[in-house]
Structure 1
Amino acid sequence: MHFSSQSTRNERLFEMATYTDEQISRYLRHIGYTKDAAKKHAAEDPLGLLTRLQILHMARVPFESLSLHYSKYRTLSLDPEDLFVKIVGKGRGGYCMEVNTFYAVVLRSLGFTLFSTGGRVRNEAGYKGWDHMVNIVTINGQRYLVDVGFGTNGATRPVPLQHGHEFFTISPAQGRLEYRSIDAHTDPNQRVWVYSVRQNKEAPWREMYSFAEFEFISGDFEVMNMHTSSTPQSFFVQSVMCMQTILDDEQQNPVGKMILHRDYVKRQIGDSSEILEKLESEPQRVEALKKYFDITLSGEEQRGIRGLASELKDRSKHA
């Protein structure tokens, strides 16, 4: 493993971009890791480093849709430099294509071999089109799914691409990878990786998304990003949401999630959950983002949600 010192230029495609040594040092401090520790870990155990980075990243960088609501222009950039400013400079996160694009550049800057690919999320009606992004990292000939942008049902560690592999996400919830066809295929010989979850060993498995094992390029993600961030049917356009992983007291293992979704804040530890706040106005939701996620919205950002369907109207004024 090596630490790249090659700088990123705005006009470069993200799949070729790297961050500078100084940027990587800032990122590692941001997630609570030192560069010296990362170098030592990389030399001794690259998979261990990849695992540690993902755990710390998901506990510090939220999966969120705030820029589609608290923004004057409500557009999302996948430019690596813009993402660095947003995530490290401003302490924010983003949805899948933002955080996984950023994370891909971080990993490449740390010397990992990887490519990014597209996924299809499954909802009640079946599989949708390409609207998700994941990274595939190769270590010693083994490929791993690395996804820091799938929210409450996402994997919290690298997952080897092995058919039938089962693992814990946040215990007692489990994940599973299978290489098989999906019900949307018309050719039964087609195969994709299918990521499923169940909330405990007694619960049924639910398919979450499927993904390809070939590389998508920046142009593919630009098209996907435009659609996902603008179509009225998009979950992210409809919903103000923010989620972070909660670690144990030793800051070693994921044990739960902190979730803000529309008008509530919920803390989930294992298979138990507790509503911490019901949000009844925009000032209360803005304060909750600061209190639970350390996210401070500027006055301009707060004004950006006015008039949107996602705006929280002050219910006390209509009582």
Structure 2
Amino acid sequence: MSTSVYTEAQLGQYFDHIAFPRTVPNQAENTLDFLAELQKRNLTRVPFESVSLHYSRRRLLSLDPEDLFAKIVTNSRGGYCMEVNAFFGTVLRSLGFTLISAGARVNGRSGYKGWDHMVNIVTIDQKSYLVDVAYGSNGPYHPIPLEPDIEFNGIYPAQGKLEYKALPQHTDPKQRVWVFSSRPDADAAWKEEYAFVETEFFPGDFEIMNMMTMTAPQSLFVQTVIATRILLNQQDGEPEGVIILFKNYIKRRIRKHTEIIQTLTTEDERVGALKDYFFIELKPEEQRAIRGLPSELKTGEAEPSGLA
């Protein structure tokens, strides 16, 4: 997305922020393993979230690499897809990886929407991989080779699949895109999550996409306070579940067990949950910024059905 790179000092600060183990082989020695560990650690420490669209007077999100570094590393925040994937793409370029940033369409209730998601496609030893650190609880947590009809493990027992095919909305039957699907376990039906292309998108493309996503009243991120991140097993360091904040609930999903671990009845409780579960500490003026918005926490909200 950008030719900007982070300095060695910034990369060191980032590694410390995500608790990147210094025992991992050097990037030049084992590139794919290094990338996989980096992606996993980023998903653990940098939440997928919409907090700044609700707890901010400005409610405008910058995709400038330096602004993203300040937000994500210095101020311990996360962001939605275009923020976190743009940031992670800049980290990878700074480490010497070859990649492009591309657009994706999320599959909504009435079919595929416009360009509203961002992914990175990384090339290692002349092989391309989907790398996505900002899709929420159903996204991939490790690099996925761009191979048609490949199936792979998600966070157990979830599974993922990648296909290369036409979409129902295509009017030209020769069109093909990559389609990422997921299912919660081997007995469930596949759900197409999003479709992406191998065409490089420019910063200006994402600026247009970002404007729609952060300002449109129908945008999920504008409507709803969301935060998710993956959880690692303490023994083997592998992903074992996700923690999710959606409106006024905190849900934890580990293996096949999903439970509501906290119901949030006040804004103070939600602010506390963001700190406790997602490392996000809001200043008093940020906490006050949500007052009067439709997303301000009110009692009696129904249990959410999404993002679980």
- TM range, normalised to the smaller chain? over 0.9
SS at match of 1:24: helix
Aligned-pair CA distance for 1:293: 1.5
Q: Match for residue 164 of structure 2?
A: 179
Q: Quick check: 1:114–1:137 contact (8 Å CA) kept in 2?
A: yes
Runs of 5+ unmatched residues, structure 1: 1-13
Aligned-pair CA distance for 1:43: 2.5
Q: Match for residue 133 of structure 2?
A: 148
Percent identity, aligned pairs only, is 54
SS at match of 1:301: helix
Aligned-pair CA distance for 1:291: 1.4
SS at match of 1:85: helix
Q: Quick check: 1:257–1:267 contact (8 Å CA) kept in 2?
A: yes
Q: Match for residue 6 of structure 1?
A: none
Q: Distance between the aligned counterparts of 1:302 and 1:57, measured in 2?
A: 26
User: Is 1:22 matched with 2:22?
Assistant: no
Q: Distance between the aligned counterparts of 1:295 and 1:133, measured in 2?
A: 23
Q: Which of 260, 264, 267 is 2:245 aligned to?
A: 260
Runs of 5+ unmatched residues, structure 2: 301-308
CA RMSD of aligned residues (A): 1.1
Spell out, residue by residue over 1:76-101, the C-alpha distance to the aligned partner (whole angstroms, 9 max, x if none): 00000010000000110000000000
Q: Distance between the aligned counterparts of 2:298 and 2:157, measured in 1?
A: 37
Paired amino acid for 1:151: G
- Normalising to structure 1: TM-score of the pair? 0.92
Aligned-pair CA distance for 1:132: 0.2
Count, aligned residues? 300
Q: Distance between the aligned counterparts of 1:62 and 1:280, measured in 2?
A: 22
Aligned-pair CA distance for 1:251: 5.7
Q: Quick check: 1:282–1:314 contact (8 Å CA) kept in 2?
A: no
Structure 1 segments (4+ residues) deviating >6 Å? none
Query: CA 1:93–1:279 in 2, change beyond 3 Å: closer, same or farther?
Result: same
Paired amino acid for 1:93: G
Q: Distance between the aligned counterparts of 2:259 and 2:184, measured in 1?
A: 16
| Aligned ranges 1:180-259 → 2 under 5 Å | 180-250=165-235, 252-259=237-244
Pick the structure with more helix per residue: 1
Q: Match for residue 305 of structure 2?
A: none
SS at match of 1:44: coil
Paired amino acid for 2:18: I
Aligned-pair CA distance for 1:314: 5.5
| Aligned ranges 1:1-319 → 2 under 5 Å | 14-33=1-20, 37=23, 40-250=25-235, 252-313=237-298
Spell out, residue by residue over 1:9-33, the C-alpha distance to the aligned partner (whole angstroms, 9 max, x if none): xxxxx52110000000000011112
Q: Quick check: 1:118–1:132 contact (8 Å CA) kept in 2?
A: yes
Aligned-pair CA distance for 1:109: 0.4
